[in-house]
Amino acid sequence: MPRDYGTKGDGTPVTDAVVGELADEAERGYDVDAVLRRRQGGRPAMGSAPASVESVRLDPELKRDLLLRAAAEGRSVSEVIRRALQQYVRAS
């Protein structure tokens, strides 16, 4: 019975046959320059250094209001929080 190792990014099942094909490709070698050209650099920078992730607790009503505001503005929750925090810090 063939073993299933999950799926590739495009949804294709990773089976023993696919693993064999990938191993054969790896043994033939890769064009390093082509791999590096395909590689994307992750999330865009937000400032002068890597951004940090901060955790904050929200009561259910504030969370609901935040979700509604983000949806109304067509923005992510993170973007709404960042903008509100920037306005607060600049006002003080």
70 pLDDT higher than 70: yes
How far is C-alpha 25 from the geometric centre of its chain's CA atoms?
28
Q: What is the mean pLDDT of residues 66-71?
A: 96
Q: Supply the pTM of this predicted model.
A: 0.53
Residue 1: C-alpha distances to residues 4, 17, 48 (Å): 10, 12, 53
Q: pLDDT tens for residues 12-68?
A: 889 888 899 989 988 998 888 887 777 666 777 778 888 888 999 999 999 999 999
2 pLDDT higher than 70: no
